[in-house]
Amino acid sequence: DTAVSQTPKYLVTQMGNDKSIKCEQNLGHDTMYWYKQDSKKFLKIMFSYNNKELIINETVPNRFSPKSPDKAHLNLHINSLELGDSAVYFCASSQGRPYTGELFFGEGSRLTVL
């Protein structure tokens, strides 16, 4: 029973397309995150939601729009995909702020833009 699940695991698409990645957590956590890991393996936070409210938006282009329909879900929609968007996107969740304990990460969604 996966704690943080992301779909799809792999996504290959053309430049200019719009795509979405979904994330669900069954841990009852109140905070969810999106991280991006680029080809150099650098992990960078993009967004964070607490109880469906956006609390972190790390200078991510407007083409990226997160949506949290409820505490258990955080989806990422990307418009007008560019080559530089190719990366692995990780969803994570925690109960409260990170200092209190652990973040649980999903297995990642590898996006390839051609």
Partner 1 sequence: DAKTTQPNSMESNEEEPVHLPCNHSTISGTDYIHWYRQLPSQGPEYVIHGLTSNVNNRMASLAIAEDRKSSTLILHRATLRDAAVYYCILTSHNTDKLIFGTGTRLQVFP
Residues at the interface with partner 1 (CB under 8 A): 4, 31, 33, 35, 41-45, 48, 50, 55-56, 90, 92, 97-99, 101-108
Q: Which residue's CB is nearer to partner 1, number 36 or number 113?
A: 36
* Residue number, 18 or 102, with CB nearest to partner 1: 102
3-state DSSP of 7-52: ECCEEEECCCCCEEEEEEECCCCCEEEEEEECCCCCEEEEEEEECC
Judged by beta carbon, residue 18 or residue 86, the one nearer partner 1 is: 86
In whole angstroms, the minimum distance from the beta carbon of 103 to partner 1 comes to 6
3-state secondary structure of 65: strand
Least gap, CB of 5 to partner 1 (angstroms): 11
Please state, in angstroms and rounded to a whole number, the distance separating the CA atoms of residues 99 and 112.
33
